[in-house]
Amino acid sequence: MKGLGRSSYLALVFGFLYLPIAVLIIYSFNDAKYSLEWKGFTWNWYQTLWQNDDLIEVALHSLTIALLSATLATIVGTLGAVALYRYQFSGKKLLNGLIFILIMSPEIVMGISLLLLFVTLGMDLGFSTLLLSHTTFSIPFVVVTVLSRMSGFDKFLIEAAKDLGATEFQTFIKVILPLLMPAVVAGWLLSFTLSMDDVIISFFVTGPDYEVLPLKVYSMVRLGVKPEINALSTVMFALTLVLVLLAQFFLKEKK
Amino acid sequence: MTDKTVFKRFAIGIIAIWLVLFALVPNLMVIIASFMTQGESEFIVWTPSISSYQRMLDPLYLQVFWNSFYLSAFTTVLCLLIGYPFAYLIARAGPKARPILLLLVIVPFWTSSLVRTYAMIIILNANGLLNSTLLGLGLINEPLQILYTDTAVIAGLVYTLLPFMVLPLYAAIEKLDWRLVEAARDLGARKVRTFVSVIIPLTMPGIVAGSMLVFLPGLGMFYIADFLGGSKTTLIGNLIQRQFLSARDWPFGSAASVTLTVTMGVMIWIYLLSAKRANAKVEV
């Protein structure tokens, strides 16, 4: 009886978490424009998406930004995590503090602060401002993921490499980086997901010339509920699911 | 210069430059902008003034802050009440079930909150799943108007932010030293007493971390209030967004952001203090 109560509580909360998404996915295959009754299976809404050139272009924008910003954030974040873990230097506290601020500050504050920076520098809002912003909010996630892996590994390996005459750079490339690889890959995947899903920061730092997918969804939803949005949301959910499963796979490997 | 210093300088330099340029400088600019005045043609005129902060004392804006804090706090309490037993059950599940249950929390955690908010609209619609189920069961005679009310905003916030409460709670409960719980039981404490005097204090860092991860984003998620709330529901996030995009009063928007950040800073400070005290207690 006790076990049953526990399982049903778990099931209830998981139901709350997954039911709305499940309903969304089911409706994306429903052959009815306005009705919520089941009128039969259709691929129609996915075809509508696929034929919408405007939407495809926006999706490509999002993928480009996600690929580039995740890669940049992974390079900067991994080097940063190694530096923070291995070296003592003045200003280390400030760097740790800035990473903490980036993680904790509300997205909307980060969005407007970057907007102020870009406007002051006279930059056109669009591709480059999006790329810089997305890289910035992804860096702390890479740093944290890589640092947590690094605190678990054997310091003697690094000393052994040095004793055998490896330079600092060789030690990084041949010893540290391979050991960190699962965390680096997971950090990249999570950064990619963050970038694909971000609404609030992109809202402030992009212009009309370079729209991204979440903002497109935002403006579509403002105009009302449509089956195409169900289909598009389903595609976005599926993409997140794949990326998160991959990231979990790489993070688990250490055990 | 040895090769060590070259690599070291490069690794430190690249992240230091990035963070100073894109985190430190922009945040300082918000603080500076909040003390400037709104211009006619330009967004900001460089005349120092505290008028933006004075304007925030206007009852209209105080109401927005109060309303935001209230909705966010209500959401946080609900998430804690739902999330604590949930996280506890996951942490106490068998070694085979646990990673699967945890993964089931992580997937919504990473799923676009916009997509999840949209899913909530479909459920709460006048002819949505909730209403048709209740009508079908004969519990109500006409559709409930839930969408475009504060209730819908809270439902949306809880739905979107619950995973952010569960994950830190899970981490705290899983780390719990169960020998201490057994000791309390052996010394004759009843279940409720053990929970209140031992388990809750030991998992306090998780409770506070989860509460912050729910409360703070809750203040800024303007699209949840946009989509699910009525015209009267304005959160701090909506206020800031409007100042930057339609009202074009950047100094006032900045002042609202600074206020938000300072509130956040005070809460984090309290958290760090309480974490320190909790640690000190455990060591004793």
A217 contacts on B by Cβ (under 8 Å): 114-115, 118
In terms of Cα–Cα distance, which of B151, B115, B142, B161 is closest to B232?
B151
In the numeric block, the tokens 């030991």 are attached to: B202
Helix or strand or coil: residue A41? Answer: strand
Query: B164 pLDDT band (50/70/90 cuts)?
Result: very high
Q: Which residue of A has its CA nearest to B267?
A: A104
What is the average pLDDT score of chain A? 90
What digits encode the pLDDT tens for the residues B121-162?
888 887 788 888 888 888 888 888 888 888 999 999 999 999
Q: How many Å apart are CA B152 and CA B124, to the nearest integer?
A: 8
Assigned token pair, B166: 């569960």
Q: How many Å apart are CA A10 and CA B168, to the nearest integer?
A: 17
Q: Which residue of B has its CA nearest to A89?
A: B12
In terms of Cα–Cα distance, which of A120, A132, A102, A109 is closest to A206?
A132
Mean pLDDT along residues B215-239: 86
Task: Mark yes or no for CB contact B19/A95 under 8 Å.
Answer: yes
Task: Mark yes or no for CB contact B257/A89 under 8 Å.
Answer: no
Domain ranges of chain B: 56-283
Q: Which one-letter DSSP state was computed for residue A124?
A: P
Taking the CA atoms of A144, A147, A148 and A149 in sequence, report the sign of the dihedral they define: positive
Q: Which residue of B has its CA nearest to A214?
A: B114
Task: Mark yes or no for CB contact B10/A105 under 8 Å.
Answer: no
With 90 as the cut, is the pLDDT of residue B20 above it? yes
Q: How many Å apart are CA B19 and CA A109, to the nearest integer?
A: 16
For residues B121 and A229, is the Cβ–Cβ distance under 8 A?
Answer: no
For residues B106 and B98, is the Cβ–Cβ distance under 8 A?
Answer: no
Q: CATH fold of B56-283, please?
A: MetI-like fold (1.10.3720)
Chain A nearest-CA distance from B67, in A, is 18
Contacts of B183 (CB under 8 A, 6+ apart): none
With 60 as the cut, is the pLDDT of residue B202 above it? yes
Task: Mark yes or no for CB contact A248/B103 under 8 Å.
Answer: yes
Task: List the single range of A78-82, B87-91, B109-113, B263-267 with lowest mean pLDDT.
Answer: B263-267
pLDDT at B283: 45
Residue B97: how many other CB atoms lie within 10 Å:
12
In terms of Cα–Cα distance, which of A17, A89, A103, A255 is closest to B111?
A17
Mean pLDDT along residues B206-217: 88
Q: Which amino acid is at A101?
A: I
Q: How many Å apart are CA B26 and CA B217, to the nearest integer?
A: 20
Helix or strand or coil: residue A30? Answer: strand
Q: What percent of chain B has pLDDT over 90?
A: 40
A193 contacts on B by Cβ (under 8 Å): 110
Q: Which amino acid is at B149?
A: T
Taking the CA atoms of B200, B201, B202 and B203 in sequence, report the sign of the dihedral they define: positive
Domain ranges of chain A: 1-42, 52-252
With 70 as the cut, is the pLDDT of residue B204 above it? yes
Q: Which one-letter DSSP state was computed for residue A176?
A: I
Assigned token pair, B114: 């916009």
In terms of Cα–Cα distance, which of B207, B197, B200 is closest to B270?
B207
What digits encode the pLDDT tens for the residues B236-257?
999 999 998 888 889 999 999 9
With 50 as the cut, is the pLDDT of residue B108 above it? yes
Task: Mark yes or no for CB contact B110/A108 under 8 Å.
Answer: no
- From the candidate CATH numbers 3.40.50.11750, 3.40.718.10, 1.10.3720.10, 3.30.310.50, the one assigned to the domain spanning A52-252: 1.10.3720.10
pLDDT at A72: 98
Which residue positions in chain A have pLDDT lower than 50? 1, 255
What digits encode the pLDDT tens for the residues A5-45?
889 999 999 999 999 999 889 989 988 876 667 788 989 89
Task: Mark yes or no for CB contact B118/A229 under 8 Å.
Answer: yes
Q: Which B positions 176-235 lie with beta carbon below 8 A of chain A? A: 212, 216-217, 219-223, 226-227
pLDDT at B1: 54
Q: Which amino acid is at B112?
A: S
Task: Mark yes or no for CB contact B112/A167 under 8 Å.
Answer: no
Q: How many Å apart are CA B123 and CA B145, to the nearest integer?
A: 12
Give helix then strand counts, H and E, for chain A: 12, 0
Count Cβ–Cβ pairs < 8 Å, chain A vs chain B: 228
Residue B44 forms beta bridges with which residues?
Answer: B38
For residues B110 and A241, is the Cβ–Cβ distance under 8 A?
Answer: no
In the numeric block, the tokens 């490499």 are attached to: A161
B6 contacts on A by Cβ (under 8 Å): 168-169
Task: Mark yes or no for CB contact A225/B226 under 8 Å.
Answer: no
Q: What DSSP letter does each residue of A187-242 carry, written as one string?
A: HHHHHHHHHHH--HHHHHH--TTS--HHHHHHHHHHT---HHHHHHHHHHHHHHHH
What is the 3-class SS of chain B, one letter each residue?
Answer: CCHHHHHHHHHHHHHHHHHHHHHHHHHHHHHHHHCCEECCCCCEECCCCCHHHHHCCCHHHHHHHHHHHHHHHHHHHHHHHHHHHHHHHHHCCCCCHHHHHHHHHHHHHHCCHHHHHHHHHHHHCCCCHHHHHHHHCCCCCCCCCCCCCHHHHHHHHHHHHHHHHHHHHHHHHHHCCHHHHHHHHHCCCCHHHHHHHHHHHHCHHHHHHHHHHHHHHHHHCHHHHHHHCCCCCCCHHHHHHHHHHCCCCHHHHHHHHHHHHHHHHHHHHHHHHHHHHHHHHHHC
What digits encode the pLDDT tens for the residues A181-193?
989 998 999 899 9
Q: Which amino acid is at B189?
A: A
Assigned token pair, B28: 């300082």
pLDDT at A148: 86
